[in-house]
């Protein structure tokens, strides 16, 4: 696979041989990071996906959407979400899971955005999501099974993806969509509307927004194979198989999917397959990020970036 990848030339201190899987990596005195790029003047529109722009305009055109969102995300609902995470998850900080804290802080620095709170939640379903509660600091939730599944670089790419939602000010719509995907369909007075028009349009917007945030993940990882590896593992990975997964083979699989769905019948099946999904298919996301990593748009962003070295004591 032809890819644009920034490889570190100098490490700031000695590191141990690589160990597969974040769960197998032991705490050391320092988290050593290679020279990386940071985007001091990065604007959300610098990397926003065209489908995100298009579907945002369509979403804004839906009458009463903001009123529905405010009704769903009222004071009581927001307080429930906030207390649910505080009460059932672990808040990451300098003194609590410091390596994860550093991954978030560094990703936020690269994207030039304030780091949100980060919670780790026990769950067998690999997932991560962002909730923006009005008047409160936004927070990201990562499930323990996702931490188990990914390497350190891959996990930071996931955090960067979630930061992309905040960088792009997806805000209330993102929280609204996350509530939908988490199963909150029975809201008095709006359930039928969600089922008919709003749900479909909101999910279409969310799928487009996910493509934008995959680009944010690439800006932090600065290696398309890291982002594609995350998508591959979400499609069919587990800790015991991680060492055997092949990114290039997965990209070839993505190209074969494009070919199979290029016919009229294939196009219809593809749309039916994705219509009710909150995220694009992993193979489509992999193909999108692979193509963007080789684009002039991405190269131009890298040329604008500033190289920095960072070492964090933990």
**Active-site residue, from 78, 162, 210, 288:** 162
Q: Residue 276: CA atoms inside 13 Å, Cβ hemisphere, count?
A: 6
CA-to-CA distance for 144 and 274, rounded, in angstroms?
A: 27
Query: Catalytic: 162?
Result: yes
CB neighbourhood size of 6 (10 A)? 15
The sign of the CA dihedral 201, 203, 207, 209 is positive
Whole-angstrom distance, CA of residue 197 vs CA of residue 273: 18
CA distance to 80, 130, 159, 235, 292, per residue, from 107 (Å): 28, 15, 7, 24, 20
> Could you tell me which of 161, 124, 156, 159 has the C-alpha nearest to residue 143?
124
Burial of 314 (0-12, 13-18, 19+ CB in 10 A): middle
Looking at residue 12, what DSSP letter applies?
S
Would you please indicate which residues are annotated as catalytic (active-site) residues?
162
């Amino acid at each position: 696979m032809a890819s644009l990848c920034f490889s570190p030339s100098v490490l700031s201190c000695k590191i141990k041989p690589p160990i597969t899987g974040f769960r197998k990596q032991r705490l050391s005195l320092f988290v050593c990071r290679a020279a990386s790029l940071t985007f001091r003047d990065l604007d959300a529109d610098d990397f926003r996906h065209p489908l995100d722009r298009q579907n945002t305009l369509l979403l804004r055109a839906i009458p009463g959407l903001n009123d529905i969102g405010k009704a769903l995300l009222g004071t009581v609902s927001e307080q429930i979400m906030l207390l649910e995470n505080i009460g059932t998850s672990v808040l990451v900080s300098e003194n609590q899971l410091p390596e994860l804290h550093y991954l978030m802080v560094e990703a936020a620095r690269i994207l030039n955005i304030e780091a949100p709170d980060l919670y780790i939640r026990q769950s067998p379903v690999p997932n991560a999501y962002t909730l923006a509660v009005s008047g409160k600091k936004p927070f990201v939730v990562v499930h323990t099974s996702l931490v188990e599944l990914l390497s350190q670089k891959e996990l930071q790419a996931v955090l960067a993806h979630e930061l992309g939602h905040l960088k792009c000010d997806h805000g209330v719509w993102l929280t609204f969509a996350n509530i939908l995907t988490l199963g909150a369909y029975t809201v008095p007075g709006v359930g039928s509307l969600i089922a008919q028009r709003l749900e479909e349009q909101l999910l279409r917007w969310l799928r487009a927004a996910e493509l934008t945030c995959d680009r944010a993940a690439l800006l932090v990882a600065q290696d398309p194979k890291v982002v594609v590896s995350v998508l591959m593992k979400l499609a069919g990975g587990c800790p015991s198989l991680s060492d055997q997964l092949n990114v290039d083979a997965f990209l070839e699989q993505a190209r074969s999917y494009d070919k199979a769905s290029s016919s009229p019948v294939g196009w219809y099946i593809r749309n039916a397959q994705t219509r009710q999904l909150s995220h694009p298919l992993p193979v489509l996301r992999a193909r999108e990020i692979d193509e963007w990593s080789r684009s002039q748009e991405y190269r131009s962003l890298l040329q604008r970036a500033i190289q920095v070295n960072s070492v964090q004591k933990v």
